[in-house]
Amino acid sequence: MLISDAPKYGNDDDYADKLVTDAYDIYVDEIAKYPNTRYGRGPIGGIRYSGTSSISANVGQGRGTLATPDGRNAGTPLAEGCSPSHNMDKNGPTSVLKSVSKLPTDEIV
């Protein structure tokens, strides 16, 4: 299968969306292993929350990131927050919302 023909997150494709939710589950589980010390000033054992909001950092972070397997070129912006990668959503905004709704939003900020 050519990379351009591979299913992409953001198109309400169950296969692609499952890959993303699996990655989020791994991310959330890994973050939860580390206690929050509130920058060294607070009690150990606090909760560390996982987040998906890159605000505008996706542009700067993309400049230093090599090409990714989804077809994104090196040096181009990363996806904004939990949105699909740029120009990868082909089935309209409703499909994007359906893909995003599959994320474990009870575990991420």
The tens place of each residue's pLDDT in the chain, 109 residues long, gives 567 788 999 999 999 999 999 998 898 888 877 766 666 555 555 666 667 777 778 888 899 999 988 888 999 999 888 888 888 889 999 999 999 999 887 776 6
**Which 3-state string (H, E, C) describes 30-85?**
HHCCCCECCCCCCCCCECCCECCCCCCHHHHHHHCCCCCCCCCCCCCCCCCCCCCC
- Helix, coil or strand: residue 4: helix
pTM for this predicted structure: 0.75
Residue 80 has what pLDDT?
A: 87
